[in-house]
Structure 1
Amino acid sequence: ETGLSSTIAEKLYKWIVKNEAPQRVEETRALTRALIIKGVKKEVIDRNTGLELLMRHQNYAQAEAAFVLDVELGALGSPETPLEFRQLVEEYRASQGLEFKEIPQEVIEAEKALLSVQAQLTQAKSKGEEQEVIDQLEVELAEAQVRFDMLKVEHEL
C-alpha cells in the first residue's frame, strides 16, 4: 500500500507509463535494429531477409533499409574513387526520398581501371622503366579513359 488514493495511484501509474513508453519503444527499436544488422553481419540471416526485417519491423523504406545495411556493414567501405563517393551520396539521397542518380557498377569499375592504369604509369615513370613499357601504359591509359568517358556519357553522369 502506497498511502495514495486509488485514483491518484492510477493517474500516477498512467503518467509514468505514458512518459516512459516512448523511451522504451525507442530502446527496443534500436535494439531490434542492432540485432538485425548483427544477424546479417554474422550471416545468421541473409541481406534480403535483413532488408525485409528492417522494412517490416522498423518501418524503413527499401532504399533506407539498404542504405542502413550498407553503412552499418561497411559494404560500401570507404569510397576509393570519386564515383564511389558519389554513389554513397546518391544512395543516401534515395533513402531520404530525394531525387537521385543511379551509378551503375560498370562505370565504377571503369573508373577503378582508369585510376589503376594511371597509378601504374606514374610508378613506371618514377622507376625509370623502359620507354616501351611507358608507351604501352600510355596506350592502356588512353583506352581506359575513352571507355570511362563513354560509359559516363551513356549513363548521363
Structure 2
Amino acid sequence: MTDNIDLPYRPCVGVMLLNRQGQVFVGQRLDTTLEAWQMPQGGIDPGEDPLATAIRELREETGIAPNLVELIAQAPGKFQYDLPSDLIGKVWKGKYRGQTQRWFLFRFLGQDSDVRIETAHPEFRAWRWADPKDLVMQIVPFKRGLYEEVLTAFSAYLN
C-alpha cells in the first residue's frame, strides 16, 4: 500500500445551502452506516470551473435545479482534510489522501418539494435542514475541523 503522504489531494467543491430560515441542507450518505450527515460536495472534473462544479454537484446530489439557488458567497481560499488511515485505499479508488475544497454558499429559492435526493446516482439516504450551530457535531469526526473553518468563512451570512 502506498504511504498516504505520497498521495495527492482530490480537487473538490463543497456547497452550503441555506433555506429561508437560515438552516443548512445536510444529507445522510448512502455508502456508510454511520449516523453522519454532510453538505453536498464533489470532485472537480478536469478543466471544470469550481462554481460550475458546485452547481452541477448540487443538482446531482439533491435534484435541485440551478434556477432555484442564488450564489451568496465563495469562501476565500481552499480548505483541506485528510482521510482517516483506515479509509485511504478504499475511497476514490485509493488515489487520494483527502480533499482540497473550494466552498460556495447558496440561498435556496425553492420549496422542500424541489429537493429530490432520488437522483440518477443517489448519494444520500435522507436529508434535512440543520441549524448551523449544530452542524459540526453531526459530521463525521475527520471532517469536523473543515466544517468549523467553513462555518467561520461564512459566519457573516449565518444567523
Normalization by structure 2: what TM-score? 0.22
Q: By percentage of residues, which structure has more helix?
A: 1
Bigger Rg, which one: 1
Relative contact order, CA 8 A, sep 6+: which one is greater?
A: 2
TM-score under structure 1 length normalisation: 0.22
